[in-house]
A = this chain, B = another copy of it.
Amino acid sequence: MPISGKLFINGAWVQGEGGTYHASNPATKSEIEPAMSMASSEQVDAAIKAAELAAPAFRNSSLQKRAEFLRTCADEIMALGDELLERVTAETGYPRARGEMERGRTCNQLRLFADTIETGDYLDARIDTAMPDRQPLPRPDLRHLNQAIGPVVVFGASNFPLAFSVAGGDSAAAFAAGCPVLVKGHSSHPGTSELVAHAVATAVEKCGLPKGIFSLLMGSGSKVGAALVKAPAVKAVGFTGSLAGGMALVEIANARPEPIPVFAEMGSINPVILLPDALANNADGIATGFVGSLTLGTGQFCVNPGLVIAIDDDNLQTFITTASAAVAEVQAGVMLNERICTAYCDGLQEYSSHDGVEVISAGGSAEGQDGYCGQATLMTATADYFLQNTAIHEEVFGPASLIVKCKNKDEILRVVTALKGQLTGTIHCADGELASYTELTDLLSLRVGRIVINGFPTGVEVCHAMVHGGPFPASTDSRFTSVGTSSIKRFIRPVCYQGFPEALLPDALRNANPLGLLRLVNGVKTTDAI
C-alpha cells in the first residue's frame, strides 16, 4: 500500500496539521518520499479524547477478545510483506535480515502476550471470603483483581523500528492489559510506523474494538510528546531511548497535578567481566564472541557490551590481541540517523580524549562512506583511572567498548561496585571459578536486571523470565521489565471489591470461577469454585 504520510487518529487517517518533513535514508543520506505529516496540538487532543472514550469498553473487554486482537495485529503485520521490510531497511540502514528477524520477534511478542493473558495469571485474582462470626470483628468478603491503568503513551524507539515501536513490546503489553495506546512515532522511521499502524488499525476494525484504542501521532518530542505526557487522561508512559530523553519525560510526568509513571529504559554500558581461568581457557573464543556482540547492528543495542573488566595478565593480552584484530576487520556500519551518528562520533572523541584512555583498535573508517557510519572502536584504561574518572562510566551508543585492566580481584570488585545501574552484567568464568568470586554475582545482582554467565548480553529474549530493566539509570523503575510477559505489570493496578453481590463482580472473581483461573482463595492457590 502506498505510504501517505498521514496520521491515524480515532479510527481515521488524516493529514497532520503540524507541518511535514521527509525521512532520511541513513545509508545514502537521501530523502525518502513521500512527505510525512506531523500532528497539531488539536490533533493530539483529539487522539487523547478518543483514547479516553475508548478506555472503559477496552478495559472491560474479554481476555479472549484482546488475545484475538493481538494475534490479528501479528497476522496483519506479516501481511504487509516485503513493503514493510523494504521500508525498514530504507529508514534504518538495517540489512533485510535484521528487519526480518525483528518482524518475527515483534509478531512472536504479540502472540506470546495473547497466550499469556488467556491464562489470566496477570490478573492476580485473590479472594478472601467473609467471616461473619469472627471476633472481635467480622471479616467482609474481599476480592482483588488487576485492571488496566488507562491510556498509555508509547514512544517509538530509534533502534527497534518494529519491536519497540508502533506495535512493539510497550504497545503489546498495554493492549494486552486493556489500555488504549497513543503512539508517538519515532521521526527516523515514519513510513515503517505508518505501515505497522495500518496493520494495527485493521486489527482494531476486524476485532470490532473501539476505534479510539489506537492512534499514531508523529511530531517532535518537545511538542507532540510532551503534550501526550501532560494529558490528564494518560496514565502511564513507555519509552526506550537516551537518559536525557527519558528524564525529560519523567520531569514532565512528575510535574503533572496527578504524576504518572514513566517506564523509561535508558540504556547502559553492560559490563562484561572476564575471570582469569576463563581467559586462560579460551581467550580467543571469548574475544571473537565479544566483538560479534559489540558490533552487531553497528552497536546500536541497549545491551551492547560497552565495558570489559578483567585482570591484566597474559591471557587478557591474548584476548586484546584477538579482539583488536577482529575489530580492525569490521567495516564502518551504517547508523540509524545523523543525530545518533554524530553523538557516537562526539562521544567517542570525548571518551578517547581522556589521557588515561588508549584507543587500541578501530574498524574501517567512516570517512568517505555514503551513509551515516560508525567506526568500531576498542579502548583500554586502567582500573585506577576508571575509578577516578566517572565521565568514562557513561554510555557511548554505538560499537565502542572500553577494556578496564585490573591488578587483581579486589580491583575487579571495586570497579563493579563503582558502576551505576545497568541492564545487564556478564561474567565469563571457568567451571568452579566463581567460587572464589562469591561477592561478584551478589554485587552484580544489585546493579543489573539480568546476569549472563558465559554468554553475551545482546539478544534480549522475549519470554516469561526476561528482565529488561535495572536500577537507575538503566531504567526509571527497577521493579519492572520492558521486555517479556512480566512487562504487562507496568500497565495494571489492583482494585479490591468488598462486599460485592455475586452478580456485580467481574467474571474473574465470581464464585463459580467461570474463567477457570488459578486464584488465591483464603491464601491457597486453587482453580476451584468457591
Seen from chain A, the residues whose Cβ lies within 8 Å of a Cβ on chain B are 56, 60, 101, 115-116, 121, 124, 126-128, 136-137, 139-140, 142-144, 147, 149-150, 250, 254, 258-259, 261, 420-421, 431, 434, 441-442, 445-446, 448-455, 459, 461, 463-467, 469, 471-473, 476-479, 481, 484, 486, 489, 492-501, 504, 518, 520, 522-523, 525
With A128-B464, A128-B465, A449-B494 given, name 7 new contacts (CB 8 A): A142-B461, A144-B466, A144-B467, A258-B420, A450-B497, A455-B499, A481-B496
Q: Contacts A494-B467, A495-B451; is A476 near B259 (CB within 8 Å)?
A: yes
Q: Contacts A259-B472, A445-B147; is A136 near B464 (CB within 8 Å)?
A: no
Cβ–Cβ < 8 Å partners of A56 in chain B: 442
Number of copies: 2
Please tell me which one of the listed residues B467, B500, B518 contacts residue A495 in the complex, with CB atoms under 8 A apart. Answer: B467
Cβ–Cβ < 8 Å partners of A442 in chain B: 56, 60
Q: Contacts A258-B472, A453-B498; is A492 near B464 (CB within 8 Å)?
A: no
Please tell me which one of the listed residues B60, B126, B455, B492 contacts residue A479 in the complex, with CB atoms under 8 A apart. Answer: B492
Q: Is A465 a contact of B149 with CB atoms below 8 Å? A: no
Q: Residue on B with the closest CB to A254?
A: B254
Cβ–Cβ < 8 Å partners of A441 in chain B: 504
Q: Is A478 a contact of B465 with CB atoms below 8 Å? A: no
Q: Please report the C-alpha to C-alpha distance between residue A4 and residue B418 in the assembled complex, in whole angstroms.
A: 41
Nearest CB of chain B from residue A231's CB, rounded to whole Å: 15
**Sample of 26 A–B contacts (CB below 8 Å):** A56-B442, A101-B136, A116-B523, A121-B520, A126-B465, A128-B464, A140-B461, A142-B463, A144-B464, A144-B465, A149-B478, A149-B479, A434-B504, A441-B504, A450-B496, A451-B496, A451-B498, A451-B500, A454-B499, A464-B520, A464-B523, A467-B496, A471-B493, A478-B493, A479-B493, A481-B494
Nearest CB of chain B from residue A257's CB, rounded to whole Å: 8
Q: Please report the C-alpha to C-alpha distance between residue A453 and residue B137 in the assembled complex, in whole angstroms.
A: 18
Cβ–Cβ < 8 Å partners of A121 in chain B: 520, 525
Cβ–Cβ < 8 Å partners of A448 in chain B: 495
Nearest CB of chain B from residue A473's CB, rounded to whole Å: 8
Q: Is A128 a contact of B454 with CB atoms below 8 Å? A: no
